[in-house]
Amino acid sequence: MSNAATLGAMRDLPSRLLLGPGPSNAHPRVLQAMAQPLLGHLDPAFLELMDEAQDGLRTLYGTSNAFTLPLSATGSAGMEACLCNLLEPGDDVVVGIAGVFGGRMAEVATRIGARVTRVEAEWGTALEPAAMAEAIGSVRPKVVAFVHAETSTGVLQPVDEIAARARAEGALVVLDCVTSLGGLPVELDAKGIDAAYSGTQKCLSCPPGLSPVSFSERALECVRSRARPVQSWYLDVSLLAGYYGGERVYHHTAPISAIYGLVEGLRVALEEGLPARTARHVAAQTALLERLAPLGFEPLVEPAHRLPPLTTLRLPAAVRDRGEAAVRRALLDEHGIEVGGGLGKLAGDVWRVGLMGENARLESVERLVSALESVLG
């Protein structure tokens, strides 16, 4: 294919309303920022943007952690970075599992060689704090890890009680904030979280490819006192600190354009303010549930634990009879709207509708409802 034909094909890409579990649609200002000329990854002008990104992430994470930065990798690498830096072979870790991504935490920890104690909850429900406390008290682990916003189920996990028990036993606390950062309060310092990770493609309305992470000083001291080097050279925070800190020691070539986009996405979020942003996500989910109820869709998760940016919906007979995948494909082909199917145990039984970042608006809800009414006749 010629260069001209390739460019033509790129121009012909369809426009989608991305209402699945991620990515969400990027803010126009983010896309404009990413089109700016490249700078070198050690250029003083670019390093100023890196500093701004770190400051903005500290604000959204609710932390003063010096080591708060965007990893040059996706959210799954953020998960691996948190666990591989804090865990060594033979260490004990308690992992709360109430969906796919809690299970992934356990898998990563197992591959590191840690001794994993799994505390499981029914999918669509939150972890039981008493069960987590019992495991923490029994095992006295080095690390306790769980998911704040479980993308596979749409559950928002209450953090305070579990984190407090973990800290009381001397454990480090790792929190998955992939679907909460930028859409809900996270408050790492207030809740006693030692390491957290997220992604840019959800409530921050940026393209995928970066993973904002934050490590407390307590977590960094754990890394400094390791008996052996971190198994991943690329994700070793003691090496990353040299590039993102004051020394600016070369570590890797940062994704320049992605950082441009993140900086602009953070500016958009901070201009709106987190309280207003949180309220907008809650209002969008409320409207979604109200407008889809007459079509037979029911929420999977109880009100106290619903995750506003990501709603799991039990499917009505009208969708099941036609085949849920076929209905989702009709939404995509005929109306340019993407919604997500269920994962793991929930595959075929639910849809996951993301109203994240710029998509957390009443217009998104109305467009989806109108399309569904058309597809279902």
Q: What is the pLDDT of residue 2?
A: 56
At residue 4 the predicted structure's pLDDT band, cuts being 50, 70 and 90, is low
| CA 58 to the chain's CA centroid | 16
Residue 146, beta-bridge partner list: 175
Same domain, 348 and 262: no
Helices 324-335 and 362-376 cross at an angle (nearest 10°) of 110
Instruction: Output the average pLDDT for the chain.
Output: 95
**pTM of the predicted protein model:** 0.95
Kindly state whether residues 243 and 363 are assigned to the same domain.
no
**DSSP per residue, 180-235:** TBTTB---HHHHT-SEEE--SSSTT---SS-EEEEE-HHHHHHHHT-SS--S-STT
Residues 212 and 303 in one domain: no
Whether 311 and 233 share a structural domain: no
Res. 377 pLDDT band, cuts 50 70 90? confident
In this structure, the answer to whether residues 36 and 15 fall within a common structural domain is no
**Range(s) of the domain holding residue 170:** 28-269
Domain end marker among 269, 288, 305: 269
How many domains, the chain? Answer: 2
| Same-domain status, 69 and 16 | no
CATH code for the domain in which residue 71 is found = 3.40.640.10
Q: Find the helix or strand (DSSP H, E) in which 174 lies.
A: strand 172-176
pLDDT band at 175, cuts 50/70/90?
A: very high
Are 194 and 309 found together in one domain? no
Same domain flag for 329 and 234: no
Percent of the chain with pLDDT over 90: 91
**CATH number for the domain harbouring residue 367:** 3.90.1150.10
Is residue 80 located within the same domain as residue 192? yes
Q: pLDDT of 8-67, one tens digit each? A: 566 788 999 999 999 999 999 999 999 999 999 889 999 999 999 999 999 999 999 999
pLDDT over 90 (residue 269) = yes
The last residue of a domain, from among 217, 241, 269:
269
CA atoms of 244 and 41, how far apart (whole Å): 11
**Are 77 and 53 within one domain?**
yes
> Do 38 and 15 share a domain, yes or no?
no
In one letter, which amino acid is 9? Answer: A
DSSP, collapsed to helix, strand or coil, labels residue 126 as: coil
**Residue finishing a domain among 219, 249, 269:** 269
pLDDT at res. 7: 59
Query: Which residue has tokens 């920890």?
Result: 109
Q: What is the pLDDT of residue 247?
A: 75
Helices and strands in the chain, H and E counts? 15, 14
**Residue 321's pLDDT band (boundaries 50, 70, 90)?**
very high
pLDDT of residue 143 exceeding 70: yes
151 and 172 belong to one structural domain:
yes
Q: Both tokens of residue 3?
A: 């260069």
pLDDT tens for residues 178-206? 999 999 999 999 999 999 999 999 999 99
Under a CB-based contact definition with an 8 Å cutoff, are residues 266 and 257 in contact?
no
Residue 158, SS3?
Answer: coil
> What is the rounded CA–CA span in Å between residue 42 and residue 78?
23
Which pLDDT score, from 0 to 100, does residue 86 have? 98
Sheet of 115-120, strands arranged across: 67-71, 211-215, 195-197, 172-176, 143-147, 92-97, 115-120
DSSP 303-349: GGGB-TTEEEEEPPHHHHHH-HHHHHHHHHHHH-EEEEE--GGGTTT
